[in-house]
Amino acid sequence: MTPDPGFAPAKINLTLHVTGRRADGYHLLDSVVAFADLGDRLTAGPGDGLTVTGPFAQGVPTDDTNLIRRALDMAGAPRAVVLEKNLPHPGGIGGGSSDAAAALRLVGAVLPTEALLRLGADLPVCVAARAARMRGIGERVDPLTLPPLPAVLLHPGLDCPTGAVFSALASPDNPGQAAVPERSDAPTFLRWLAAQRNDLEPPAMSAAPGIAAALDALRGTGAALARMSGSGATCFGIYDSPEAARAAAARLDRPGWWVRATTLT
């Protein structure tokens, strides 16, 4: 759990292997997830309702379709919540799920995994808010200890609908990941990471060609590895040091792109 219960960190899929599809249509995943030191922020008080502020407030629903309100209703703990929306959406970085998880932490509510999955596949891992290997449809979350990874997050300011990306996936039946080298140093972990995949990256690049440009831009600033998170459109680059990540973020800054240096853990 994050030390600050009102902080909703960006969730980054360092890997995302699609390993099957159930009869009910849900895809099976094998993913290593890390969390950034930047994200949205929530405060809660007596009453009910949702107010959204921040640079990405526009387009966030405040009615009963919002995951924050749904989670609190499910927990039987309605509150008047103020959400400072700092993360782009939709972005493949679990913003809505992380917000809902933070809301549950704020009120001290614990929901069973089955209930969390009704809200979304990312809810179980976002409730834990720490590095993990996530499998199945999101119900299996095994904590990991990863080295701190200096990184840059880049959202190229385009839409990448999740449904269209999954529909364009060449096959839902792909190999899972190799065993994760836990408690390793950063070079060892990066060598392992480079040999893994995000199976949604190719279909996402077809649906939104700007993702390829974002990945090329990250590689052009010396990223040791550049990959898309989730179903897109946010991409990440991993660097040798926090200084290199900050320098890369400064070079990548341009109109229409959301670019932030961060550390993933």
pLDDT at 83: 98
Identify the burial level of 103 via C-beta atoms within 10 angstroms of its C-beta, where 0-12 means exposed, 13-18 middle and 19 or more buried: buried
User: Are residues 117 and 11 both part of a single domain?
Assistant: yes
Residue 107 resides in a domain: yes
Contact at 8 Å (CB) between 222 and 248? Answer: yes
Catalytic residue among 11, 40, 85, 199: 11
Residue 159 resides in a domain: yes
Query: Is 94 annotated for ligand binding?
Result: yes
pLDDT in tens, 124-143: 999 999 999 999 999 999 99
Last residue of a domain, one of 108, 143, 178: 143
Cα→Cα distances 11→80, 170, 205, 247, 262, Å: 25, 25, 20, 23, 12
User: Are residues 15 and 134 both part of a single domain?
Assistant: yes
Query: Is 90 annotated for ligand binding?
Result: yes
- CB burial of 220-246 (b: ≥16 within 10 Å; e: otherwise) equals ebebbbbbbbbbbbbbbbbbeeeebbb
Amino acid found at 235 = C
User: Are residues 176 and 129 both part of a single domain?
Assistant: no
Among 150, 152, 123, 133, which Cα is nearest to 234's?
A: 152
User: Are residues 154 and 79 both part of a single domain?
Assistant: no
Last residue of a domain, one of 125, 143, 161: 143
pLDDT over 80 at 2, yes or no: no
| Distance in Å from the first CA to the final CA of the chain | 13
CA atoms of 44 and 108, how far apart (whole Å): 12
3-state secondary structure of 231: coil
Residue 31, domain CATH: 3.30.230.10
pLDDT at 3: 59
4 is catalytic: no
For residue 35, give its domain range: 7-143
User: Are residues 167 and 221 both part of a single domain?
Assistant: yes
85 is catalytic: no
User: Are residues 126 and 200 both part of a single domain?
Assistant: no
Query: Is 171 annotated for ligand binding?
Result: no
Last residue of a domain, one of 96, 124, 143: 143
Catalytic residue among 30, 40, 122, 199: 122
pLDDT in tens, 28-47: 999 999 999 999 999 999 99
- CB burial of 114-140 (b: ≥16 within 10 Å; e: otherwise) equals eebbebbbbbbbbbbbbbbbbbbebee
Query: Is 91 annotated for ligand binding?
Result: yes
pLDDT in tens, 154-198: 999 999 999 999 999 999 999 999 999 989 999 999 999 999 999
Give the pLDDT band (50/70/90) at residue 1.
very low
Residue 185 resides in a domain: yes
Query: Is 49 annotated for ligand binding?
Result: no
Residues 6+ apart with CB under 8 A from 121: 26, 29, 137, 138
Query: Is 237 annotated for ligand binding?
Result: no
pLDDT in tens, 218-263: 999 999 999 999 999 999 999 999 999 999 999 999 999 999 999 9
Number of domains in the chain: 2
pLDDT in tens, 204-216: 999 999 999 999 9
3-state secondary structure of 138: coil
User: Are residues 139 and 30 both part of a single domain?
Assistant: yes
